[in-house]
Amino acid sequence: MPEQPANSLTVRDNRTGQEYDVPITDGTIRAADIGQIRSGEDEPGLAVYDPGFVNTASCKSAVTFIDGEKGILEYRGYPIEQLAEKSTFLEVAYLLVHGTLPSKDEYDSWVHEITYHTFVHENVRSFMQGFRYDAHPMGMLMASVGALSTFYPDARNIHDAENRHMQIVRMIAKMPTLGAWSFRHAQGKPYVYPDNDLGYTANFLSMLFKMSEQKFQADERLVKALDVLFILHADHEQNCSTNAVRSVGSSQVDPYSAVAAGVGALFGPLHGGANEAVLRMLRRIGSMENIPSFIEGVKDGNERLMGFGHRVYKNYDPRATIIKKACDDVFEVTGVNPLLKIAQELEKIALEDEYFVKRKLYPNVDFYSGLIYEAFQFPPEMFTVLFAIGRTPGWLAQWLELVQDKEQKIARPKQIYTGDRTLDFTPASERWAQ
């Protein structure tokens, strides 16, 4: 038997007895190589069935590294713990988009550009005012981000680097404006214009909460805590919404349309909607004595412990640890949220219970973020909007990588067809006459 290359996989197809050498690169085999394996000349090539892409790499990426077993998260090689402690959200956004940390001049001009693109066209405002009084802010955000594509038709020129940069700046800058206005809308309050004297996060808080005062100055500790939350959410490699951005972006549509798809994906309760679900769950549990019966319900499969479990992190979610610390800082200003006690008790029980230990279920980023957001007096519907604002630089960094990646193709997965074949069609008039 000829010697096989060390970095390869030998596959024997027992249908034909034939053996194939499939090269292994970066710990992966190419699905196209598997596609060469056929049971007969006219038969389709072998394919891989992987609902939810549990073990399928869809791209090469240099943006974010995660080791789920060890609980490591790095943006462009920098550990999340250091970024959360020592950086700012706009610096992290620069890092994600450009791949390196900015010099002083680069940072100043980045902050300046973003600050001066926070305003939106007045028609965006009218468009948003057209929503029903009780519209979910995520629906408003998704629609208004998509609508931006009509205000910037030049964004379709995705092959021009300068143009891409312009849209990236616009989107990071305008997201807080759109998010804040979707919040004010539900409250029947006037939309507040951006205040360009304030930093990114302080300006967002001003657009959310300013009433008749001349200037809205948020407590610095709250500004810092929200900035940290944005950093923690800024990217998370190929999660559901990033995959949506890449999948839609792979058709070479403009970035606003691609990011609107990401916002839509984030809206779902298994993704960004989880922190809203955590809060509702904590409220439903209501008091400490209801915790044991709730846990039993989870173990019987009638309930799900929202904010626990993660597709990737199987030991702990490093973001959850940082959020717990941010919780303390925020509660120092706002007072302790009574639901915190229930959350802590749930966490304690779950971390000791065999059901959760065996399945490697640990608190994820959403378990505590909802409590912080509530302390800011955000209604649960706003939680995912905050996530979306934080995730925008990540979506854009991934989109940028996608459009420059020569190996990328339009996303078009295979299927296993399970339906009928070659039926004879009888016209309705004959079918219904019988």
Ligand X SMILES: CC(C)(COP(=O)(O)OP(=O)(O)OC[C@H]1O[C@@H](n2cnc3c(N)ncnc32)[C@H](O)[C@@H]1OP(=O)(O)O)[C@@H](O)C(=O)NCCC(=O)NCCS
**Of residues 255 and 309, the one with the C-beta less far from ligand X:** 309
**Of residues 323 and 400, the one with the C-beta less far from ligand X:** 323
DSSP string, 339-392: HHHHHHHHHHHHHH-HHHHHTT--B-HHHHHHHHHHHTT--GGGHHHHHHHHHH
Residues 292-311 close enough to bind ligand X by CB under 6 A: 298, 304-311
Stretch that binds ligand X, among 40-48, 100-108, 330-338, 359-367 (CB under 6 A): 359-367
Q: How many residues bind ligand X (CB under 6 A)?
A: 16
State the DSSP code for 51. Answer: G
CB of 59 vs ligand X, minimal distance in Å: 20
Options 283, 348, 359, 414; binder of ligand X; rule CB under 6 A: 359
Q: Out of 310, 329, 405, 420, which one is annotated catalytic?
A: 310
CB of 288 vs ligand X, minimal distance in Å: 19
State the DSSP code for 308. Answer: B
Residue 334's Cβ-count burial label (10 Å; 0-12, 13-18, 19+) is middle
CB of 346 vs ligand X, minimal distance in Å: 11
H runs (alpha helix) in 103-154: 104-115, 122-129, 137-151
The span from the CA of 232 to the CA of 83, in Å, is 9
CB of 55 vs ligand X, minimal distance in Å: 12
Q: At what angle do helices 104-115 and 200-209 cross, to 10 degrees?
A: 20
**Of residues 146 and 307, the one with the C-beta less far from ligand X:** 307
Under 8 Å between Cβ of 154 and 199: no
Under 8 Å between Cβ of 247 and 225: no
CA 375 to chain centre: 22
CB of 8 vs ligand X, minimal distance in Å: 30
**Of residues 75 and 256, the one with the C-beta less far from ligand X:** 75
CB of 273 vs ligand X, minimal distance in Å: 8
Q: Is 246 an interacting residue with respect to ligand X (CB under 6 A)? A: no
Q: Is 319 an interacting residue with respect to ligand X (CB under 6 A)? A: no
Residue 412's Cβ-count burial label (10 Å; 0-12, 13-18, 19+) is exposed
User: What mask of x and - would describe binding to ligand X in positions 264 to 293, judged by CB under 6 A?
Assistant: ------x---x-------------------
Catalytic, 329? Answer no
The span from the CA of 236 to the CA of 313, in Å, is 11
Q: Write phi, then psi, for 217 (nearest 5 degrees).
A: -115, 105
State the DSSP code for 324. Answer: H
CA terminus-to-terminus distance, the chain: 66
**Of residues 231 and 365, the one with the C-beta less far from ligand X:** 365
**Of residues 169 and 231, the one with the C-beta less far from ligand X:** 231
**Of residues 267 and 308, the one with the C-beta less far from ligand X:** 308
State the DSSP code for 282. Answer: H
Q: Which helix (H) or strand (E) holds 331?
A: helix 318-334
The span from the CA of 22 to the CA of 58, in Å, is 18
E strands, 117-217, in order: none
Map tokens 């900015």 to a residue.
Answer: 102
**Residue 327: CB partners within 8 Å, gap ≥ 6?**
340, 368, 371, 372
Residues 361-390 close enough to bind ligand X by CB under 6 A: 361, 364-366
Catalytic, 366? Answer yes
Q: Out of 227, 235, 254, 366, which one is annotated catalytic?
A: 366
Residues 93-122 close enough to bind ligand X by CB under 6 A: none
For residues 399, 401, 405, 411, the Cα torsion angle rounded to the nearest 10 degrees is -30
**Of residues 148 and 361, the one with the C-beta less far from ligand X:** 361
CB of 310 vs ligand X, minimal distance in Å: 5
Give the binding site for ligand X (CB under 6 A): 270, 274, 298, 304-311, 359, 361, 364-366
Active site residues: 310, 366
